[in-house]
Amino acid sequence: MYFISARAQFNNFVSVQLSMDDNIERIVLIREFDEARDNEVVEKLEKNCEIGSKKGISIYSNMMGDPLGRIRLYPVHIMLVAELLKNGEIVGVVRGCIKLVGTCSQSAHVKMGCILGLRVSPRHRRKGIALLLVKSIEEWMMRNEAQYTCVATDQNNFASIKLFNEKCNYVKLSSLVIYVLPVRFQAKDLSHDIHIEKLHVEQAISLYKNRLRGKDMHPMDIDAILKENLSLGTWVSYFKEEQWIGLDNREKGDDFGRRTPSSWAVISVWNTSEVYKLQIRRPYPFQFLHATLSHAKEFMFPCLKIPILASFHKPFGFLFLYGLDGQGERLGKLIMALWNFASRVAENVKDCKMIMTELGVNDPLKEYFSNASSKSFIDDLWYLKKLKNGPTEDEDELTMTGFAENVFVDPRDF
């Protein structure tokens, strides 16, 4: 048993007593990330921390020189680092942001803190550093009046699930499926009977504002998301034999969204590769890897369960498709047309090797993706915790009702 000193944001010193078995590192300082001083070392740490691994292949994220890239787009955000006091080594990081989230069970929105990019150096694990980082970021969130905090994790990440669920009392909120299509797998021609049109950003905002109410959880600042440079656009599809009245009227406020054809679909595309890239590494000697690469055409990308090409060993990016929606009897064909269309968009984005999307387990669109070939998935879990500033037990519908099954996945979080 010994003390770890943790200074959370803005010189606010707290002491957290942790029980540990080893005696290697005694004192850790939690402080705010300093861009000028920490950039390089945090980038290196990130590259050493796998975000998924199985059977000898590990997946890493490459922040492309900007460790804040994933959270910069949130007006309220922070990155904390864990530093060993004895030698100044940075051994862990965590990012956090706060946003307003609408829920269908509550008339008002809630102030939600999101934990992103928690990493601890492999050499310093199981010493309580992640626990300390989580506690520190929760304190920052409470100081910024967040009512809840949430985190997403792969269902195979037992370390992370144990940490959040068992140690930090987070409860499971949602179960989601990630669908992936490597760009080179795109072979299908776009259907001749389907019309695909790009919406003006104001049209996209108006369409989504109408539709988001049906979601169990959704960001309140959809307009800011759609106006971001990383958002490449919003496209709708419908059958050519039908008309979408008002679609060509680009004026703000036109309610074209109420005059949809009988079947229609919509997607928006987010260029994640501008912010970070993924990289795959096998911990085998180079010769073995080289020999294997030259003889085998494809590897299994185990976490994503997709075949992987040798070129995936370089950092690669992907497009994230968000805001998938639509209605009508022929919605399946229309959403698949947009999925294929997006993989064509990806072909023209530098270093972009795949498209991905994520749907809640009960999202009505899920059935179309589950039946489609050459798409694969991993299961993602969202965990939630009510903070001290949160609603009283009677009003706490989010953690009490338990499960958000049909959610709008914020592309900034992915």
Using CB under 6 A as the criterion, which residues of the chain lie in contact with ligand COA when the complex forms? 49-51, 118-120, 125-131, 151, 153, 157-160, 162-163, 166-167
Calculate the alpha carbon distances from 168 to 128, 160, 388, 400 in Å: 12, 11, 13, 17
Amino acid at 230: L
Least CB distance to ligand COA at residue 127 (A): 5
CB 239 within 8 A of CB 332: no
Q: Toward ligand COA, which CB reaches closer, 97 or 236?
A: 97
Q: Toward ligand COA, which CB reaches closer, 121 or 231?
A: 121
Least CB distance to ligand COA at residue 356 (A): 17
Q: Toward ligand COA, which CB reaches closer, 73 or 130?
A: 130
CB neighbourhood size of 259 (10 A) = 12
Least CB distance to ligand COA at residue 382 (A): 11
Q: Toward ligand COA, which CB reaches closer, 166 or 329?
A: 166
H or E segment at 6? strand 2-8
Rg over alpha carbons for the chain, rounded to the nearest Å, is 22
Q: Toward ligand COA, which CB reaches closer, 49 or 217?
A: 49
Least CB distance to ligand COA at residue 45 (A): 9
CB 51 within 8 A of CB 60: yes
Q: Toward ligand COA, which CB reaches closer, 59 or 345?
A: 59
Distance, CA of 226 to CA of 170 (rounded, Å): 30
Q: Which of 352, 338, 389 is nearest to 278 (CA)?
A: 352
Residue showing tokens 């590897």: 299
Q: Toward ligand COA, which CB reaches closer, 95 or 366?
A: 95
Least CB distance to ligand COA at residue 21 (A): 8
Least CB distance to ligand COA at residue 156 (A): 10
Q: What is the largest CA-CA distance in the chain?
A: 72
Least CB distance to ligand COA at residue 360 (A): 18
Q: Toward ligand COA, which CB reaches closer, 159 or 245?
A: 159
DSSP of 67-97? TTTTTTTSSEEEEEEEEETTT--EEEEEEEE
Least CB distance to ligand COA at residue 401 (A): 24
Q: Toward ligand COA, which CB reaches closer, 46 or 216?
A: 46
Sheet holding 57-62, edge to edge: 52-54, 57-62, 277-281
Least CB distance to ligand COA at residue 132 (A): 7
Left, alpha or beta for 126 (phi > 0: left; psi -120 to 50: alpha)?
A: left
Q: Which of 243, 211, 275, 144 is nearest to 408 (CA)?
A: 211
How many residues are recorded in the chain?
414
